[in-house]
Amino acid sequence: MRAACQKTAEAQHERSSMTLREIIETLHATVILNKVGNNVVVERGRAADLMSDVLARIKPGALLLTGLTTPQSIYTAEMADAVVVCYVRGKKPGEETLRLAEKKKMVLISTSLPMYESCGRLYQRGLKGGSET
Amino acid sequence: MNESVVSQTVSTAARTQELVYELKVEQVMDRHVITVTPENTLEDVRGLLREHGISGMPVMEGEGLVGVVSMQDVVQSLVEGRDKEPVKRWMSLNPVTLYADELLIHGVQKFDRYRYGRFPVIDRETRNLVGILTKGNLIRGLLRRLEADFEEQEIRRYRPSDWFSELDSDETSVGLRYFVQGSDFQRAGEASSKMKQNLRKLGIPPEAARRITIASYEAEMNMVIFTEGGQLITSIEPAKVTVTALDRGPGIPDVELAMKPGYSTAPDWVRELGFGAGMGLPNIKNCSDEMKLESKVGEGTNLQFAVFI
């Protein structure tokens, strides 16, 4: 019954972006920090543990999936105009990273899923990557 | 309240009024709609209301909108001990809806006229349910837009082409200098972060600011990883932003090799921090319109890159 009840209206439409709320649902993610609300729209996804790889291709409005929890994960997201950082494999950022994210009003979530599955689930829901139009 | 606060409040109110004539319902509605079927019970509805922190929801039969059920119905059904009954006995039929492409003012008028807490939003052509509009969505949407307007105004105030032209000189540039500490990983990125905020404040277009600061961030990381420290010097001119990254050594022995994607001399601990994959210099080159790299072993490196605006 639940599944039928919660069918979202937008699933009826072809689209490539996702709201934060849908991403959280899809990844069974927990919210670490969010000062902007669950209706933030993410245009595409980007996943890497190497920050230079992220910076080489990322487009604005992205979700950054990474296993790296240093302050540089936040700086990288900021430079690249990413809107959400999702730590995979259940990783949680330290104090320093949290403080920085708070200052930058970055949204942080965490999922216990590994990188591959996180990407797979989001892609299945229609979230495109950086090389797609 | 002093006069300027009053006049500002009045102008914000006027702007809010304008906005409801500018924005469309689809720009502020919630696209994530929780729905029930006519066969669900009021008890189900109660669970969903609580779980999602909402006060009502559309009732859908297949793809078709057939009614709306609200907190009031749930409360009344509890009072009468009839909460095991199906939604179809309780829902309001022929719900008042809004079209996604309607102006927000129509939504505001409907809230006034009908005193409902929410209106299902449907697509004018397909008649499919595409969202829901509550008073909360409406207020949040307006606030979001006001905030964006405000930021835009702040930026416009500083538009470089404006104030540059007011400065009488043969050539005008504005400089921002940042000092970078070698091996200070906690703060690696801070200089480029500050630079980015300032470039935005100065009215540099977002895409140009983004490219120059991605390049600057890579240069900053190189400085932290490989050198004893240095400076990032940003020069803003009417048509371009140039960053000069100057460090005090050790210098790059083979510049051509260092420019090759994937080539890196970084130790493993640097890779664990997410850098040192040999993409730094190639990234800087890709992000900038001009790049110049000079290095002398034992002395230091002078890296310059620019983005046209």
DSSP A25-73: HHHT-EEEE-SS-TT-EE-EEEE-SSHHHHHHH--TTEEEEES--SHHH
- Span B163-308: which CATH code? 3.30.565.10
Q: What is the DSSP string of B105-139?
A: HHHHHHHHHH--SEEEEE-TTT--EEEEEEHHHHH
Interatomic CA distance for residues A95 and B134, integer angstroms: 37
Query: Which tokens belong to B119?
Result: 């209106």
What CA–CA distance (Å, rounded) separates B167 from A88? 51
For A41, nearest residue in chain B (alpha carbons): B31
Cβ-defined contact of A75 to B31 (cutoff 8 Å): no
Q: Is residue B279 within 8 angstroms of chain A, CB to CB?
A: yes
Residue B288 contacts residue B238 (beta carbons within 8 Å): no
Domain with CATH 3.30.565.10 in chain B: 163-308
Query: Domains in chain A, please, with CATH?
Result: 15-126 (3.40.1390.20)
| Amino acid, res. B198 | N
Residue A130 region by backbone torsions, left for phi larger than 0, else alpha for psi between -120 and 50, else beta: alpha
Give the list of residues 6+ apart from residue B150 with CB closer than 8 angstroms, or none.
none
Q: What is the enclosing helix (H) or strand (E) of B69?
A: strand B64-70
Q: How far apart are CA B1 and CA B29, in angstroms?
A: 34
Structure tokens at B220: 């900053």
pLDDT by position in tens, chain B (length 309):
455 556 666 667 777 788 888 889 998 998 889 999 999 999 999 999 998 888 999 999 988 899 999 999 999 999 999 999 999 999 999 899 999 999 999 999 999 898 888 999 999 988 899 999 999 888 888 888 888 887 777 766 666 666 677 778 888 888 999 999 998 888 999 999 999 999 988 888 888 999 999 999 999 999 999 899 999 999 998 889 999 999 987 999 888 898 888 888 888 888 877 888 888 899 999 999 999 999 999 899 999 999 998
Tell me what ipTM this predicted complex has.
0.85
Which residue on chain B is closest to A75 by alpha carbon? B189
Q: What angle do CA B15, B21, B27 make, to 5 degrees?
A: 95
The secondary structure of residue A111, as a DSSP letter, is -
In B, minimum Cα distance to A79 occurs at B214
Q: How far is B32 from chain A (nearest CA, A)?
A: 6
Cβ of B188 within 8 Å of Cβ of A7? The answer is: no
CATH number of the domain at B3-141, please?
Answer: 3.10.580.10
Structure tokens at B277: 């994959």
